[in-house]
Amino acid sequence: MKIVFIGAGNLATRVSLALKEAGEVIVQVYSHTENSARTLGEKIGCSYTTDLKKIYPDADLYIFSVKDSVLPEVIAGIPSNDALWVHTAGSISREVFAGKQVRYGVFYPLQTFSKEREVDFSVIPFFVEANRRDDAPLLQNLAGKLSKNVRETSLEERRQIHLAAVFACNFTNHMYAIAAELLEKEQLPFDLLIPLIDETAAKIHEMPPLQAQTGPAVRYDRNVIGKHLDMLQNKTLKTLYTELSQNIHTLHNDKEQYL
Amino acid sequence: MKIVFIGAGNLATRVSLALKEAGEVIVQVYSHTENSARTLGEKIGCSYTTDLKKIYPDADLYIFSVKDSVLPEVIAGIPSNDALWVHTAGSISREVFAGKQVRYGVFYPLQTFSKEREVDFSVIPFFVEANRRDDAPLLQNLAGKLSKNVRETSLEERRQIHLAAVFACNFTNHMYAIAAELLEKEQLPFDLLIPLIDETAAKIHEMPPLQAQTGPAVRYDRNVIGKHLDMLQNKTLKTLYTELSQNIHTLHNDKEQYL
């Protein structure tokens, strides 16, 4: 099976390299950024292009991994063929390909990728969808070469998982970033927090996050909360601190009415 | 050295058991809750009491590990002696003991503790303070039996570290909890998110959180953000999602003016 990657960002980089490692044949990479296209093409050892018109027409699978907002125009710029086209986005319907292509689907790995960081694909959940029933096994099989955790999903489920992932990953990472800024302000090293960050993540392997919660907010310790609010000079952070503390308190005291 | 623990909560439980494991002698545990006092006393194999007046007067070190808001009244309820008294709180001055006791200080481990979960103490940063110069080595030595990472600190530094820890741990855990609620609502298993949560924490061992950030907010992908806001029916979560996304964008575009 010959694969073309449309996109050369974080996800495209890690997934294409993992597929190559698993023995798949990536024949070409497209990116509208010359440097990204060349870098990934060289890493994979395949050709690359920045011109949608030069994308090979005869591959078997086209994996679209571009910013959601440009996906429709990228699709529109490539001639239809009889191959399978999939995207890797968490919140976009596979129907984005409808009308343009006969065979299409979704190939969504639930992970945070950075170009320069290797990850263990074997544990990453892959969510696949295909509009044609006989294409689903093809995608499951491909994902199965990377991961032990592959499932077919609906758009609704995938969207909900993506939304939950924004909280569990992007907003979580932002909490780390705020902590880093607060420490940097006092010339304290961020490394101090690493054992705490590791343990916070490790705990939820063993118990639900609701049970794992500690700290001033869940105790609703007004003394500490008040001191912390005094220390935060930034108005937005003051608001976030207050709202997050209240929200912790709400979830712990009225879980049934929480959502 | 004979040690008394005042408090039998999460932190008191894990720290007292770790000290016992390290060969220290815990002679007594106090908690105002009978069940907590007995449970911890039995785990350690020492006596326990729920009566401040029955706390042994002849120990060498008293470790106060109670809710911040009750610490002053607990201190007031115990007769002064010539031992060293320390608390384990992130945001309270050691001067909470002043006037009552001659020798006092702080013994603050930076970690999230739950009674039932063992943690690796060797990597936990311990922050110690003593009002009398010759007591600092005693506390450093004691912390050093548990951890490779012990330092003397000031109240200002400790408070800033505690504030940063609320973001890096408590608010992070709340992001996990929100994600869990969102998945539960659609009958999706929380386990799906564990590889993502692990990788999010693991990434910041290698790169600063600012560089590790991915997802719709840092790209400011209005399309995805809009869809996610439509999906969130809870008004508070809608607000949190919006503010956190904007805050990620602010930090990434104007780090110098962020705090």
For the record, the structure tokens of A248 come out as 């912790």
The minimal CB distance from B231 to the residues A111, A163, A210 is found for: A163
User: How many beta-carbon contacts under 8 Å exist across A and B?
Assistant: 346
Q: Which residues of chain B have a CB within 8 Å of the CB of A219?
A: 67
Token pair, residue B205, equals 């061992």
pLDDT at A131 over 90: yes
Q: Residue B259, Cα to own-chain centre: how many angstroms?
A: 24
Which pLDDT belongs to residue A220?
A: 86
pLDDT tens by residue, A215-237? 999 988 888 999 999 999 999 99
| Residue A212: HSE in the Cβ half-sphere, 13 Å Cα cutoff | 28
B176 — pLDDT class (breaks 50, 70, 90): very high
Are residues B212 and A123, on separate chains, in Cβ contact within 8 Å?
A: no
The nearest alpha carbon in chain A to B10 belongs to A214
The three-class DSSP label of residue B111 is: coil
pLDDT band, very low/low/confident/very high, at B220 (cuts 50, 70, 90): confident
CB spacing of B209 vs A180 below 8 angstroms: yes
Which DSSP state fits B23?
A: T
Question: CB within 8 A of B79, min separation 6: which ones?
Answer: B57
In angstroms, rounded to a whole number, what is the distance separating the alpha carbons of residues A113 and A42? 19
Query: Does the structure show a pLDDT above 90 at A257?
Result: no
Q: What is the C-alpha to C-alpha distance for residues B259 and A184, in angstroms, rounded to an integer?
A: 10
pLDDT at position B219, please? 86
The DSSP line for A116-183 is T----GGG--EEEEESSGGGHHHHHHHHHTT-S-EEE--HHHHHHHHHHHIIIIIIHHHHHHHHHHHH
B214/A113 Cβ within 8 A? yes
Cβ pair A168:B251 closer than 8 A: no
Return the structure tokens found at A219: 């105790």
* B170–A218 C-beta distance less than 8 A: yes
Contact state of B201 with A201 under an 8 Å Cβ cutoff: yes
Residue of B nearest to A162 (CA): B228
Question: A202: pLDDT confidence band, cut at 50, 70 and 90?
Answer: very high
Residue of chain B with shortest Cα separation from A212? B114
Contact A246, A254 (CB under 8 A): no
State whether B112 and A190 contact (CB < 8 Å): no
Question: Is the model's pLDDT at B257 over the cut of 90?
Answer: no
Residue A131 Cα, gap to closest chain B Cα (Å): 22
Q: Tell if the CB–CB gap between A196 and B159 is shorter than 8 Å.
A: no
Chain B positions in Cβ-Cβ contact with residue A211 (cut-off 8 Å): 114
Q: Round to whole Å and give the CA distance between B40 and B106.
A: 22
Instruction: Give the lowest-confidence range in A167-176, A188-197, B70-79, B219-228.
Output: B219-228
* Residues A247, B232: C-beta atoms closer than 8 Å: no
Could you tell me the sign of the dihedral formed by the alpha carbons of B65, B66, B69, B70, in that order?
A: negative
Q: Which of B198, B219, B223 sits opposite A201 (nearest CB)?
A: B198
Nearest chain B alpha carbon to A150: B192
Q: What is the strand order of the sheet A84-87 is part of?
A: A47-49, A25-30, A2-6, A61-64, A84-87, A103-109, A126-130, A150-152
Nearest residue on chain B to A167, alpha-carbon basis: B175
**For residue A131, how many other CB atoms are within 10 A of its CB?**
18
Phi and psi angles of residue B61, each rounded to the nearest 5 degrees, phi first: -140, 130
Q: Residue A170 and residue B117: Cβ atoms within 8 Å?
A: no
Partner residue facing A171 (CB), from B149, B169, B175: B175
Res B13 pLDDT > 90: yes
State yes or no: ipTM above 0.85: yes
Residues in chain A closer than 8 A to B176 (CB atoms): 167-168, 172, 204, 209, 212
- Give chain A positions within 8 Å (CB) of B110: 192-193, 195-196
The distance of A201 to chain B (nearest Cα, Å) reads 6
In whole angstroms, give the CA distance from residue B179 to residue A155: 18
Percent of chain A at pLDDT above 70?
A: 100
Checking if the pLDDT of B146 tops 90, the result is: yes
- Which phi and psi angles does B126 have, rounded to 5°? -110, 135
pLDDT on residue B24? 98
Percent of chain B past pLDDT 70, that is, above it, reads 100
The answer to whether residues B40 and B12 touch, using CB atoms and an 8 Å cutoff, is: yes
Q: Quote the tokens at residue A27.
A: 């024949």
Minimal-distance CA residue of chain B relative to A161: B183
Q: Which residue of B has its CA nearest to A210?
A: B177
Taking an 8 Å cut-off on Cβ atoms, the answer to whether B112 and A200 are in contact is yes
- Of A78, A65, A67, the closest CA to residue A106 belongs to A65
Is A237 in contact with B215 (Cβ distance < 8 A)?
A: no
Query: Average model confidence (pLDDT) for chain A?
Result: 97
The predicted pLDDT at position A72 comes to 97
Is residue B143 within 8 Å of residue B150, measured between CB atoms? yes
Of B110, B111, B160, the CB nearest to A186: B160
Which pLDDT score is estimated for A65? 98
